[in-house]
A and B are shown apart, each in its own frame.
Chain A
Amino acid sequence: MKNYDLVIVGGGPAGLAAAVSARDNGIESILIIERDKELGGILNQCIHNGFGLHTFKEELTGPEYAARFAAQVYERNIEYKLNTMVMDINDDKVVTAMNREDGMFQIQAKAVILAMGCRERSRGALNIPGYRPAGIYSAGTAQRLVNMEGFMPGKKCVILGSGDIGLIMARRMTLEGAKVEVVAELMPYSGGLKRNIVQCLDDFGIPLKLSHTVIDIEGKERVEAITIAEVGPDRKPIPGTEIRYECDTLLLSCGLLPENELSRSAGVNLSPITSGPVVNDSLETNIDGIFACGNVLHVHDLVDYVSQEATTAGKNAANYIKNGKNAEAKEVKIYPEGGVRYTVPATIRPSEMDDTLTVRFRVADVYKNHAICTYFDNELISKRKRPVMAPGEMEQVILTKAKLAEYPELDRITITLEEA
């Protein structure tokens, strides 16, 4: 069995930033394991711009953003294996992986960073009725086909779900000469960023129908038509509101799910809300020395936040490898309430945390004129007004070590929404 101090599972934006940060914090023995044929992960197919405004203060495309982090990995001579699939991680941090050159092999790691990212919700998970012809793709699959392989999935297309990838693909298919008939969204609000609705749909006159869903797929060999209908507050179709579109393609952009099969097999506790690991302030899971960052932890809007989070995970993993863990540290739980669905991290150890800690979360609905309130036990610590919050946009609260030090007896932190 080979030995590495740190094994990073996944060579996308999270894995790359984590590796760079761990190396810069003194860890020499690092291996990144990536299942695709190049580093950069899903950024390589996200050819649109808008990445890196926070990190690099300029607007980059996905491949450019990925290339900048990959370059940092090359400069530092950090080891990586491509075309390699991790099969298992156990709670002793033995990583089992395989590829064509090495066959199956095992690595004993001192620490592991989970950076596997997320995958798209599939048709099977959506229960869409109708036939099962060719021409039904997840938006991300279509994105890979068009942008990397050079194939068009279809000529006339309906998109279900207004997640960002669906919106981006509506524009991309249009630019490549396809006709996008409509984007239908089950919820009464879009799941994507507003600027994407303007630049991807409005620019091209593509209608967005909120509170609509697909109720029938026609065609035995190939998609021939899609029928959508309006849904009521119970999200059930309303008879008489059906609209039928003749088309050859249906793209699905109905949510992303953190990909945690490996985490589960290692015994990592997962949150039923995010489907990602439950982590403390150092982004460490319940298994000592197993950390998580990026979309495997919770799905982010902006890759810049993924890079920031992964940098933290890399630094903390380095610290764990060098100094071990303070098992005595007091842990305070964060309670998400009143429209806050979850928080990452879920617990904080005031003695171990950095000077500042960004707690990220999503809200359950669209809230207008509300404030994000933070309580230490029953005492209101901060109240920040937000004119609008929506599930599609991640929110955050910043906690400081100095403030927490004033409350040595602190039992619980509550983050909640209140009318402003």
Chain B
Amino acid sequence: MEKRDLICIGCPLGCPLTVTIENGEVTEVKGNTCPKGDAYARKEVTNPTRIVTSTVVVEGGVAPMVSCKTAADIPKGKIFDVTDALKDVVAKAPVAIGDVLLADVAGTGVDIVATKNVEAI
């Protein structure tokens, strides 16, 4: 049996949560004051995911960098694999919001898409 302490991010209250996990299954969530806390805790301990945002270099654009993000949540444990994969990516201007800059980043099945328009010089 494993117990983990979390802070709920569902609302400004920030309930301190204690989650009990047995054999990879959540058996109890304590400390939450509403159902949101229960749902957050179950996801956070079983399959926590995050959107990763970063930047990549642009060639021939009006700006040296273009901002980007994972088009969907990726597993939290893969955050650094994603940022490592972005190190060598060079986008060519013009870039438009939504352009895929890197497909299937770090084997997550999720694309990296541009979040800013960068015109060519």
Question: Closest CB of chain A to B90's CB: distance in Å?
Answer: 12
Looking at chain B, what size class is its interface with the partner chain? 20 to 34
A176 to B68, CA, bound (A): 14
Contacts of B50 in A (CB 8 A): 199, 203
B40's nearest neighbour on chain A, judged by CB, is A198
Question: Closest CB of chain A to B10's CB: distance in Å?
Answer: 9
Q: Does B110 contact A (CB under 8 A)?
A: no
**A63/B67 in contact, CB under 8 A:** yes
**B55/A61 in contact, CB under 8 A:** no
A contact face: mostly helix, strand, loop, or mixed? helix
Question: Closest CB of chain B to A102's CB: distance in Å?
Answer: 21
Binds B, one of A15-23, A113-121, A143-151, A264-272: A143-151
Question: Closest CB of chain B to A70's CB: distance in Å?
Answer: 9
Question: Closest CB of chain A to B31's CB: distance in Å?
Answer: 13
Question: Closest CB of chain A to B73's CB: distance in Å?
Answer: 10
**A148/B12 in contact, CB under 8 A:** no
Q: Does B39 contact A (CB under 8 A)?
A: no
Question: Closest CB of chain B to A195's CB: distance in Å?
Answer: 4
**A149/B7 in contact, CB under 8 A:** no
Q: Does B97 contact A (CB under 8 A)?
A: yes
Binds A, one of B20-28, B57-65, B100-108: B57-65
* Residue from A63, A176, A387 with most neighbouring chain B CB atoms (10 Å): A63
Q: Does B83 contact A (CB under 8 A)?
A: yes
Q: Does B36 contact A (CB under 8 A)?
A: no
Contacts of A148 in B (CB 8 A): 63-65
A21 to B13, CA, bound (A): 34
A156-167 vs B, CB cutoff 8 Å, 1 = contact: the mask equals 000000000000
**B9/A198 in contact, CB under 8 A:** yes
**A198/B7 in contact, CB under 8 A:** yes
**B79/A175 in contact, CB under 8 A:** yes
Contacts of A61 in B (CB 8 A): 53, 67, 69, 115
**A388/B13 in contact, CB under 8 A:** yes
Other than the known A175-B79, A388-B13, A390-B12, what 17 A-B pairs have Cβ atoms closer than 8 Å?
A47-B115, A61-B67, A63-B67, A67-B117, A147-B55, A148-B63, A148-B64, A149-B65, A175-B52, A194-B7, A194-B14, A197-B7, A198-B9, A203-B76, A387-B33, A389-B12, A393-B12
